[in-house]
Amino acid sequence: MTRLPDTSQQVADEGEEERVSRLLTGLSAMAILFLLGIGAKAWFATHTHHAFSLWFFAGLVAMNMLSFARSRNRRHQKAGMISIVGLLFGYLIITGGESNTGPLWFYVFPPLLFYLTDLKTGTAVLLFCCLLAVVVFQFPELPLVTAEYSTDFKIRFFATLTFESIFCFVLEASRLKARNELMDMARTHQHAARTDELTGLSNRRDMQHRLNEEYSRYRRSGHHFSIVLIDLDLFKRINDDYGHDAGDHVLRAFSELMQTVIRQTDVAARWGGEEFLILLPDTSLLQALTLAERLRSEVASAEFSFAGQRMPVTISAGICSIAKTGSVDELLKQADVHLYSAKEDGRNRVAPRVRTSPRETSPSGAGS
């Protein structure tokens, strides 16, 4: 199979991370305003200590924002925000906040937590916070604990928080499942859009895209590349003599053989019908001719058989290097001209033929 780069998952993950990060920045700005405002209210109500504590937390959120603006590290931004919010809720439960309403802010935590972390981490952090709340509720005489809650409040607080957490967990799990299914579907479609169904090679559209990319690389950095345009000889006869299924089998078998001959960095595609194209990056015309000749010779000596019948299979190939042309279109046209001349010269050969001294053997000599 041709090696196709799978970047869709990375692109989607990157997009999601970017969205989460933007949301966090917005939430942080809102949190600062709230903390400053509620802190001011506490100040005017002469709850000076509470006011300073809230402003301190506003300062922490602002520092987290500044640190992210400088480092652009999204993991640190998330971890910082979760830690600050966890500490703030801990403080509000321990002190009761204004009129013992502090624990109510805890309801913000489960959706935020499940959105920012994975389900396992979210559940673990939430359970840890609930455990702390249980300790504070059960042991009001502990140092630093200044709030005392009624039994009714405690029961209702935990019951409602449990329901909320379960709903958040289920919703987030469904969202992730739907997202993963969509990603799988997109990957399958993307793969199908650039792959030839019969052979599993790149299809013409994908190859055209790769040719354009390689051409841009050549224009940018002068890296030469060559192409080999291949046509199976007298393929109509194989279909007529042995049947269409046998023809399909030959196309698949040839594709497999071709991939054992090319390098990891080369790309083979089914260009159409019984035509194939190989893109050879960083390859001169002579190197491409050598490879094409090796492929031609391997095909000629390979055994292609279907349903117990052996079929004669040979190929003709037209080769061209980008150094000889000025555009991808010209390159393809030139390779096609060479392929045509290989066919005209009797098939089972590669073109152009290399001019050699009388004692040297031409790579396209076989079959001539």
Ligand X SMILES: Nc1nc2c(ncn2[C@@H]2O[C@H](COP(=O)(O)OP(=O)(O)OP(=O)(O)O)[C@@H](O)[C@H]2O)c(=O)[nH]1
Q: Which is nearer to ligand X, 298 or 345 (CB)?
A: 345
Which candidate in 18, 141, 256, 274 is catalytic? 274
Q: How far is the CB of 350 from ligand X (least distance, A)?
A: 14
Residues 268 and 2 sit within 8 Å (Cβ to Cβ):
yes
Q: How many helices (H) and strands (E) does the chain have?
A: 11, 7
Q: Which is nearer to ligand X, 21 or 239 (CB)?
A: 239
Residue nearest to ligand X (CB): 247
Residues 332 and 353 sit within 8 Å (Cβ to Cβ):
no
Burial 302-314 (b: 16+ CB within 10 A, else e): eebebeeeebebb
Q: Can you tell me which residue has the tokens 């040979």?
A: 314
CA distance 176 to 182: 10
Burial of 49 (0-12, 13-18, 19+ CB in 10 A): exposed
Burial of 190 (0-12, 13-18, 19+ CB in 10 A): middle
Q: How far is the CB of 296 from ligand X (least distance, A)?
A: 13
CA distance 363 to 6: 37
Q: Which is nearer to ligand X, 266 or 274 (CB)?
A: 274
**Is 274 known to be catalytic?**
yes
Q: Which is nearer to ligand X, 232 or 267 (CB)?
A: 232
CA distance 1 to 264: 11
Q: How far is the CB of 218 from ligand X (least distance, A)?
A: 30
3-state SS class at 282: coil
Q: Which is nearer to ligand X, 189 or 236 (CB)?
A: 236
Q: How far is the CB of 293 from ligand X (least distance, A)?
A: 18
Q: How far is the CB of 231 from ligand X (least distance, A)?
A: 5
The residues of the shown chain that bind ligand X, judged by CB under 6 A, are 198, 231-237, 239, 244, 247-248, 251, 273-274, 343, 347
* Catalytic residue ranges: 274
